[in-house]
């Protein structure tokens, strides 16, 4: 299995677990950690809950920095491709959120990809009376003709 295909499978597994979650916690980062001794890659959330985990053959006993670099490149390519295919649109989490390469202590080492949108969060106070105002505006426009 190619590295990009493998990383796509791992990311999709993590996203599926987030979609199925009944918790209403806010996720701001997906942490990607690597273990160069075993060739294992783990994706976890902000609370260190493991969302997906897998090992890729042929990468055991690599240098830590080299292994993170290889995995980071594959994840960047995969995440970019998934974003262009709107794979993150169905996620019910606030944007922006990011995928970060993290060390064993879950400290961010490198940003892999940021998922953002032009969504603006507005308060309920701002929305009060909006329907009436929009209806009045529409009626005014229709009467002008």
Cis previous bond, 96, omega within 30: yes
Residue 18: name the closest of 45, 54, 47, 48 by CA: 45
Instruction: Give the pTM.
Output: 0.73
DSSP 26: P
What digits encode the pLDDT tens for the residues 7-46?
A: 999 999 999 998 887 665 667 789 999 988 888 999 998 8
Quote the tokens at residue 97.
């959120």
What digits encode the pLDDT tens for the residues 98-129?
A: 899 987 666 677 888 888 765 444 445 556 67
């Amino acid at each position: 299995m190619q590295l990009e295909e493998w990383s796509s499978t791992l990311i999709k597994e993590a996203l599926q677990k987030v979609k199925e979650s009944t918790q209403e916690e806010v996720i701001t980062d997906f942490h990607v950690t690597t273990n160069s001794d075993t060739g294992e890659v783990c994706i976890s959330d902000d609370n260190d809950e493991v969302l997906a985990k897998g090992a890729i053959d042929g990468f055991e006993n690599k240098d830590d920095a080299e292994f993170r670099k290889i995995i980071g490149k594959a994840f960047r390519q995969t995440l970019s491709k998934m974003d262009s295919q709107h794979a993150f649109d169905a996620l019910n989490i606030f944007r922006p959120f990011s995928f970060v390469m993290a060390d064993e202590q879950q400290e961010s080492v490198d940003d892999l990809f940021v998922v953002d949108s032009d969504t603006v969060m507005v308060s309920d106070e701002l929305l009060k009376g909006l329907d009436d105002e929009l209806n009045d505006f529409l009626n005014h426009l229709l009467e002008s003709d």
